[in-house]
């Protein structure tokens, strides 16, 4: 809706020329927009794991392109380029693009799959940040998720993760008792 877009209109006008240049370059390389705002729902364990058969993963992918190299999943981002590069530097921690790959991996297509964040910074231009080998990351994530869900199904308690910078400002420290863990920093 136009009213929802209003706060972004000034920055959009500034980065639009860079975005159009990026788009023209991609199209000259054979990359083509296939569809946008793609809602997907898959049941990854249907027919494989009876206890998880009815569980579904849901997501909305910003953009799906076709290229000579296969499908490319694009997620638009307005945050820090450094933060996005840090995210894909440790691919097993980048769950967003991995979930998108799972969602598209169940699409019936056998084309190679790539995924990237597209950083839209009106002062620095357009920066694509590729998640290398997203299909492998997706498979590892899906296997780990399956293990966690099966443990929950068996009645096992979930361990607190206590990872990353979130612990530094989390208001729920009393729930996970992070400060009481052996070797944990206060």
Residues 176 and 109 in one domain: no
Please tell me whether residue 139 adopts helix, strand or coil conformation.
Answer: helix
| pTM of the entire predicted model | 0.79
The reported pLDDT for the residue numbered 79 is 81
Strands of 32-42's sheet in order across: 32-42, 57-67, 70-77, 113-121, 125-131
The alpha-helical segments, DSSP class H, found in the chain are: 2-5, 9-28, 81-89, 95-105, 134-153, 166-169, 173-176
Q: Work out whether strand 70-77 and strand 125-131 pair parallel, antiparallel, or are unpaired.
A: unpaired
Radius of gyration of the chain (CA): 20
pLDDT of residue 23: 94
Residues 169, 80 within the same domain: no
Q: Mean pLDDT throughout 14-43?
A: 93
Does 126 share its domain with 49? Answer: yes
Residue 162's pLDDT is what? 62
In the predicted model, what is the mean pLDDT of the chain? 86
> What is the structure's pLDDT at 112?
83
Rounded CA gap, 52 and 54, in Å? 6
**Residue 23 and residue 97 in one domain:** yes
141 and 50 in a single domain? The answer is yes
Q: Is the pLDDT of residue 97 over 60?
A: yes
Burial readout 118-129 (b: 16 or more C-beta within 10 A, e: otherwise): bbbbbeeebbeb
User: Residues 143, 165: one domain?
Assistant: no
pLDDT tens, position by position, 116-158: 999 987 677 799 999 998 999 999 999 999 999 999 999 987 7
Query: Do 130 and 166 have their domain in common?
Result: no
Residues 105 and 184 in one domain: no
Cβ neighbours around 48 below 10 Å, total: 10
Per the structure, the count of domains in the chain is 2
The set of residues, in sequence order, having a beta carbon less than 8 Å from that of 66 and lying 6+ positions away, is 31, 32, 34, 72, 111
Report the share of the chain in percent with pLDDT over 70.
85
């Amino acid at each position: 809706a136009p009213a929802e877009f209003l706060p972004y209109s000034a920055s959009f006008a500034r980065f639009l020329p860079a975005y159009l240049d990026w788009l023209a370059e991609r199209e000259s390389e054979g990359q083509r927009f296939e569809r946008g705002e793609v809602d997907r729902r898959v049941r990854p364990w249907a027919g494989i794991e009876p206890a998880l058969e009815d569980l579904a993963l849901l997501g909305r992918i910003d953009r799906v392109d076709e290229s000579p190299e296969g499908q490319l999943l694009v997620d638009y981002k307005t945050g820090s380029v450094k933060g996005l590069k840090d995210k894909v530097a440790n691919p097993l921690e980048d769950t967003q693009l991995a979930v998108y790959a799972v969602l598209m991996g169940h699409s019936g297509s056998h084309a190679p799959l790539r995924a990237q964040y597209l950083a839209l910074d009106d002062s620095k231009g357009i920066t694509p940040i590729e998640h290398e080998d997203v299909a492998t990351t997706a498979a590892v994530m899906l296997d780990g998720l399956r293990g966690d869900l099966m443990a929950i199904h068996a009645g096992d308690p979930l361990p607190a993760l206590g990872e990353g910078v979130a612990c530094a400002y989390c208001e729920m420290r009393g729930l996970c008792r992070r400060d009481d863990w052996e070797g944990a920093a206060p």
